[in-house]
Each structure stands twice: as C-alpha cells, then as structure tokens.
Amino acid sequence: MQKINMATPLVEMDGDEMTRILWQMIKELLILPFVELKTEYYDLGLLNRNRTKDQVTVQAALAAKELGVAVKCATITPNRQRMEEYPELTQMWNSPNATIRSIMDGTVFRRPIIVNHVRPVVRTWESPITIARHAYGDLYKAVDLRTEEPGSCELLFTADSGRQERLLVQRADGPAVWQACHNYRSSIRSFARSCFQYALDTHQDLWFSTKDTISKTYDGEFKQIFEQEYSAFSPAFKRAGIRYFYTLIDDAVARVIRSRGGFIWACKNYDGDVMSDMVSTAFGSLAMMTSVLVAPDGSTEYEAAHGTVTQHYYRYLKGEKPSTNPTATIFAWSGALKKRGSIDQLPDLVRFGESLEQACLDTLNNGLVTKDLFQLAEQNAALHPVSSEELLEAIAERLRQKFDSK
Ligand code: NAD
C-alpha cells in the first residue's frame, strides 16, 4: 500500500502518563502504517518542561502559530502533590494549556463524540453541542477583598494620562466581601472572531449568551462586540446557510435543553467552564470530548479534553493492560490531519482523517468498547469491554481493510 504523503509538518506536542502511552500506540497502530507522517516534535512531558525551564512549551506554541496546525497530548499541571511526586521539579510550572492559549490568543471549542450505545441524558439531543469558552479574564483574573469594618468600597481607574474615574461599589454597614474583575476589548474581539470563523469552518449555527439585562456595561460590551464582528461575517453566514443568534443566558439554557443539538454555544469564561462540564456529562463522559483551540489568525491546536488518566498509568506500570478510552485522542489526531490536509490541499490526507474517525466509531458502535463506555452504556447493549490496546488493534484492522483493498 502506498502511504499518504504530507506537505507541511504537524506540530506534535507529546505529554504525560497514560495519555503518553496511548499517544505512542495511536501513532504506531493507526497513523504510521498509513501516512508518511511529518511532525515537528516537542516533548511537553513534565520532566522535559522542567529541564527546559518550560521553554519547550513556549517554543511549541510559537511553532503552532507558525505552522498553523498542532496536536497535543494531555499533560500534567503540577500542584503541591506533584511537587512531592517529582522531587526533581525546580518550580510549580504553569499549565501548558494556559501558556499555549495565551500565546495563540485562542478560543477553546469542546465537542462530544457520540456513539450508539451511550444515549445523551437529554433525549432530544441528536447532534453534538459544541461549547466555545472565552479563555481570558472575568472571575479567573479577579481580585478579591474581605473587610471587617463598616465603610465604602470604590472602584478607581487611573489612566496613564493621569485622568481618573471613580465609582462607588457599595457602602457596607458591617463585614463584607468584594470582587473586581476585568476583560480586554481586544480579547473579546478575538473570541468573537474565532467563534464566527469556527462556525463557518464547521458549518454550524452560532449561539452566544450573556446576562446583559443585569450586567449592562460589562456583558453589554460582549454583546456589542459580537454584533460588530458579525457584520463582517454575515454575508458568509448567509451563503453558508447558517445563523448567528444572541440570547440571555437563562433563555439559552432553556433552549439548549429543548434543542436537538448541532450548534456552537459561545459562553463567557465562567459560563463556559460550567456549561462544558454539564454538556460533556449529559452527552456521556469526559473521555469522549474533543477540544480544539482556534486562534483568530486561524492557527489551530487539537487535543482530548481529558487529563492524563493517572490511576490507569500506575496500573499500566504494574504490568496491567488498562482500558483507557483513546477516542478523544484519536479524534485529536484525525482533526489535525484533516485540517493540515485541507490547508495544504491534500484530499487523500483529509480522507484518511475521516476514515480514521469512521473506523473508530464503527468499532465502538459494533460493540468493542473501553470500560468507561461499558459502564455508561444502556443495559441491554451487547458490548465487550476491552483494553486500550485491543480496541486500537481492532480499529487498525478496519483501517487496513479499507486502505489495503484500494
Ligand atoms: P483526568 O481527565 O485524567 O481524569 C478524571 C476522571 O475521568 C478519572 O476518573 C479518569 O479515570 C476518568 N477519565 C478521564 N479520561 C479518561 C479516558 N480517556 N478513559 C477512561 N477514563 C478516563 O483528570 P484528573 O484526574 O483531574 O487529572 C489528571 C492529570 O491530568 C492532572 O495532573 C492534571 O493536571 C492533568 N490534566 C491535563 C489536562 C490537559 O492536558 N488538557 C486536562 C485535565 C487534567
């Protein structure tokens, strides 16, 4: 069989623990036999991040911007417990995802992968709902204050020119808590552009919701910037037969629950945090969520939404064959290959990405599943729980049948 050629390399970001093991298996069984794979490899494993003082993460993100398409394995974000587990760590390094997100200035889109035996909890949902979460500011960059005495709290803005704006937050008669948060108009604009672009790329309607009836200035700014940005995209939306729809977040929740799915729901940072967990749980599991980071310049990074599945890794180290679900990581690879193929105008590479996804879905729908899916499945489904390796072998066999018969 002739392998499929690539023109431009993918930026490959390797990771940690069980997902690092799956990464290697996916490459060996599902990609290298079929594709003359070209990648620019960055090892984002925790120890290499430590060795390079985290410069490898920065270099990988810059490469993703330059080459346009990246695929990332899940990585450990160190916390206190990890500092004890890895005594060689010289610093509690930042989350690689946060570093990459801030360099690419991107928006994260999370989309569930649906299989036959795991029905969404919401029975009307027929197609995936993609959550687009603004990844900067609001609660996540807020400053908090706790006070004991009666008094007044003010918000004071001092411009570099020296001009000041002052606003009374509240007069408190006793102990109180306070919070101030911010966002940049440029970040909201990038968020809006990424959402409109992704809606066009994936041919889906875009919904956006805030609480601008209460938060007239802050949320009102989000609403207005989306409207301004939409004016440039609206002809392309009309041509594509898709629509942009703004509503209040409470109305959006009611409509989402009664919907059939099949659209993108853009949310502010906190709303996106909560709603993406709600949507992934209601669709099945975190192990079936793909995640795509899209920058306003169009560069894209694909990954699974889940973490490094630590417990499975420790069982793997003891010689067990864990049943870790590789689906979302496979879809990260297929998404990146399809995107690379479409940018480089390589239809064979796009078709390979599609075939890889289909082979994965056919294998799962035919009853070979990992244990997490087995536990979630409807009880009468005739399913066989298998290890990750067995599942990947079965997917590879389907791919071989498809490509060898050509
Ligand atoms: P996790 O996603 O690894 O696991 C959460 C739960 O979901 C566990 O019960 C796990 O068994 C289950 N699960 C997740 N993915 C699964 C899969 N593919 N197959 C079967 N079961 C699966 O998250 P965690 O335990 O909170 O974190 C573990 C490590 O991952 C941490 O060090 C964290 O920093 C890192 N993490 C990385 C990313 C990322 O790189 N994008 C995201 C989240 C967490």
Per-residue pLDDT of 34-77, as tens digits, reads 999 999 999 999 999 999 999 999 999 999 999 999 999 999 99
Distance CA 406, CA 404 (A): 5
Distance CA 184, CA 187 (A): 5
Q: Which amino acid does the sequence have at 328?
A: A
307 CA distance to ligand 1 middle (Å): 3
- In terms of average pLDDT, the best of 103-112, 164-173, 293-302 is 164-173
The predicted model gives 152-163 an average pLDDT of 98
Q: What pLDDT shows up at residue 167?
A: 97
Distance CA 138, CA 270 (A): 8
Distance CA 196, CA 364 (A): 32
Q: Look at 74-83, 230-239, 370-379 and tell me which has the smallest mean pLDDT.
A: 370-379
Q: Which residue is listed with tokens 């695929």?
A: 71
| Domain-located, residue 301 | yes
Question: Average pLDDT, whole number, for the chain?
Answer: 95
Per-residue burial over 69-92, b = 16 or more CB atoms within 10 Å of its CB, e = otherwise: bbbbbbbbbbeeebeeeeeebeee
Closest residue to atom 6 of ligand 1, CA basis = 309
- Same domain membership, residue 367 and residue 402: yes
ipTM rounded to 2 decimals: 0.99
Q: Is the CB of 325 under 6 A from ligand 1?
A: yes
**Nearest alpha carbon to residue 18 among 318, 308, 225:** 308
Closest residue to atom 23 of ligand 1, CA basis = 307
- Same domain membership, residue 269 and residue 213: yes
Closest residue to atom 38 of ligand 1, CA basis = 307
Band of the pLDDT at 9, cuts 50, 70, 90? very high
Closest residue to atom 37 of ligand 1, CA basis = 307
CB 341, CB 350: distance < 8 Å? yes
CB 113, CB 289: distance < 8 Å? yes
- Same domain membership, residue 233 and residue 132: yes
**pLDDT at 379 exceeding the cut of 90:** no
| Domain-located, residue 289 | no
- Same domain membership, residue 99 and residue 36: yes
The number of domains in the chain is 3
Distance CA 149, CA 39 (A): 60
Q: Which amino acid does the sequence have at 159?
A: A
| Domain-located, residue 288 | no
Distance CA 142, CA 135 (A): 14
For residue 238, the enclosing domain spans 119-136+184-283
Surface-to-core class of residue 395, CB atoms within 10 Å of its CB (0-12 exposed, 13-18 middle, 19+ buried): buried
Taking the mean position of all CA atoms in its chain, how far away is CA 380?
A: 32
pLDDT tens, position by position, 193-219: 999 999 998 999 999 999 999 999 999
Distance CA 262, CA 253 (A): 15
Q: What pLDDT shows up at residue 135?
A: 83
Q: Among 283, 305, 322, where does a domain finish?
A: 283
- Is the Cα torsion angle 364, 200, 130, 188 positive or negative in sign? positive
Q: What pLDDT shows up at residue 381?
A: 67
- Return the best residue to mutate from 57, 303, 309, 374 for the ligand 1 pocket (most ligand atoms within 8 A of CB): 309
Q: Among 283, 309, 344, where does a domain finish?
A: 283
Q: Among 283, 306, 332, where does a domain finish?
A: 283
Radius of gyration of the chain (CA): 23
- Return the best residue to mutate from 18, 100, 308, 373 for the ligand 1 pocket (most ligand atoms within 8 A of CB): 308
Beta strands, E only, 2-150:
10-14, 39-43, 69-72, 107-112, 130-133, 143-147
Within 284-346, residue ranges assigned H as helices are: 310-317, 327-343
**Nearest alpha carbon to residue 110 among 292, 260, 265, 267:** 292
Distance CA 399, CA 406 (A): 11
